[in-house]
Amino acid sequence: MRLKIKKSDSYKFSKKYLELISKSRVYDVAEKTPVTFATNLSSKLKNDVFLKREDMQPIFSFKIRGAYNKIANLNQVQQKRGVITASAGNHAQGVANACKKLKVPCFIVMPVTAPEIKVKSVKRFGSKVLLHGDNFDQASKKARQMGKEQELEFIEAFDDPLTIAGQGTVGKEILDEHNDLDVIFVPVGGGGLLAGISAWVAQTQTQTKTKIYGVEVEDSACLAEAIKADKRVRLREVGLFADGVAVERIGKNNFDVIKECVDGVITVSIDELCAAVKDIFEDTRVLSEPAGALALAGLKKYSSKISNKRLLAISSGANVNFERLSYIVERSEVGENREKLLSIKIPEKPGSFLKLCKVFGRSQITEFNYRFANKTDAHVLVGIKTENEETFKLIKSKLSKSKFKFSDLTKNQISNDHLRHMVGGHKSIISERDSERLYRCQFPVRPGALMGFLKDFGSKWNISLFHYRNLGAAFANVLIGIEDKSKSKDALEKHLKSLDYSFIEETDNTAYKESVSYTHLTLPTNREV
């Protein structure tokens, strides 16, 4: 989605940031990072593409700028008492690094689900760490409580003028080096980086009228929803794959500036995000974290219908969890529209597989899963590597001519996250019950999480399907089938709402109807058949 912002005619809220950015105290710890030309991307996208390399900061993220500027501007009494904050990642490292440099006592509350690599990094800077709660909101509540009790200054992650100004130095550096850009793309979580960059760029350009676009993940688009409503709104659910931008509501100070200085916001899928991670690696040999590649994903989407423009994306961070790499690799091909996923119904008789394979010809098969459905039919889940959309259209045409019924599941998240990875029995067993309801939810990745979930769920309803998948994030995706013999949807949903988990029903999902309980005949990725 691409949403334009109707900017106000004044810089009522933005004007003060020119001086604040100019006076920002960031370079005691932060680096003036380079702007690099992305050769491969430029050739592929038919535009000149540049990357602002904030992944090269000492903590591998831009967050050091705002954190240091805020803490450096505290008075002596505040610094002596110490500071506290809540974070699961980059902000925590920025605060810890700043406090070490300034010799300020530091306490950081992190969720128990925070990756161990980030917890260790914070401790190495000498900060005290308390692990509390399963998510950021719980950790933040605890940190604010402790701050009041111990008279510690709470350091906001994004919604503070001095934090915004520190992040705004990124925009100043960009224009100092390149004052002729057509569009700058900025990742959006709480909006501190976007507000800071746009406040400087919108008010100081001397040559080209550079546009500014914020970029969000579809499942955590708090800015897009705020623009639609013309006010800040709190998201009911926030996707956690791009944990660095997983924010429920845009910051107040940030939103005021954004409405004056930003041209629009673009949302991208997780698949498009994964493809952007791959693109950054191919041009820089740096493994970006998902949030770090977000701006580039938006740039790619924007550039699809233009050429010969000068475009810049903020490469905002490289604190990637190693466990997440397999999922990123898997989904990057789909994000680049180079892999398609089809569910195909074939006759359960000799020669059916051969007939189907003839349709594919020399196409590169990335995955092949088969499940017996009944004595007359079988279902096959096939991953196909395609060079372009025309190749895929040709395959679908051949399938139709051969009288194969099929569904395109390429963008079906239930299929991508769960069903293509499952091993199970015959669908006929479930069909006889005719009472199974399917839900997806998330629960924290920590010891005892599964046991806690099952205890909370109780024994009144039978679990008929369960698939857990850890993507290397703080929360894991769960797919659960529940046998509801009474077929009382109201009673079941009342029970689910009483639990401390967010359930979304997927019973009518096409992938589930066609493909539940695959028995795998999985071929290695990139092997031709």
Residue-wise pLDDT tens digits, 246-275 = 888 999 999 999 999 999 999 999 989 999
Which residue's entry shows tokens 């119904």? 345
Q: Are residues 348 and 457 in the same domain?
A: no
Sign of the torsion formed by the C-alpha atoms of 446, 448, 451 and 452? negative
Task: Judge whether 3 lies within some domain.
Answer: no
Sign, Cα dihedral of 218, 219, 223, 229: positive
Last residue of a domain, one of 135, 154, 173: 154
Sign of CA dihedral 249, 320, 68, 24: negative
Tokens, residue 451: 């046991």
pLDDT of residue 364: 77
Indicate whether 133 and 186 sit together in one domain: no
Q: Are residues 317 and 202 in the same domain?
A: yes
Domain-terminating residue out of 102, 124, 154: 154
Nearest Cα neighbor of 106 from 122, 92, 127, 90 is: 127
Strand-pairing partners, residue 342, are 382, 408
Please check whether residue 217 lies inside any domain of the structure.
yes
**Cβ atoms of 47 and 309 closer than 8 Å:** yes
Q: What does each C-alpha distance from 53 to 57, 283, 508 come to in angstroms?
A: 8, 12, 44
Same domain, yes or no: 69 and 58: no
What's the domain count of the chain? 4
Quick one: the chain helix, strand, coil %, rounded to 5? 45, 20, 35
Domain of 239 in residue numbering reads as 13-62+161-330
The answer to whether residues 300 and 211 belong to one domain is: yes
Q: Quick: pLDDT tens for 434-489.
A: 578 888 887 776 666 777 777 788 877 877 777 776 655 566 778 888 887 766 66
26 and 174 belong to one structural domain: yes
Do 342 and 267 reside in the same domain of the chain? Answer: no
User: What is the pLDDT, as a whole number, of residue 473?
Assistant: 59
In this structure, what token pair is assigned to residue 147? 């701050």
Report the C-alpha gap between 119 and 89 in whole angstroms: 8
340 pairs with which residues across the strands?
384
Same domain, 237 and 316: yes
Q: Are 257 and 20 in contact (CB under 8 A)?
A: no
Helix axes 161-177, 252-261, angle to 10 degrees: 30
Residues forming the active site = 63, 316
4 domain-assigned: no
Nearest to residue 300, comparing CAs of 328, 327, 277, 329?
Answer: 277
Judge if 178 and 204 occupy the same domain.
yes
Tell me if 2 is assigned to some domain: no
pTM of the model: 0.79
Most distant CA pair in the chain: distance in Å? 82
Three-state secondary structure call for residue 54? helix
Q: Beta-strand (E) ranges in 335-428?
A: 339-347, 364-372, 377-385, 405-408
Same domain assignment for residues 109 and 210: no
Do residues 390 and 369 both lie within one domain?
Answer: yes
Q: Is residue 122 part of a domain?
A: yes
Task: Count the residues in the chain.
Answer: 529
292 domain-assigned: yes
Which of these three, 131, 154, 177, is where a domain ends? 154
In a domain, residue 525? The reply is: no
- DSSP H or E segment with residue 398: helix 389-401
Which portions of the chain are predicted below pLDDT 70?
206-207, 350, 370-374, 420-434, 445-448, 469-475, 486-489, 514-529
Residue with tokens 């998201």: 235
Residue of 171, 173, 178, 262 whose CA lies nearest to 215: 262
Task: Judge whether 386 lies within some domain.
Answer: yes
- Output the domain CATH number for residue 243: 3.40.50.1100
The domain that holds 368 is classified in CATH as 3.30.70.260
Residues 121 and 237 occupy one common structural domain? no
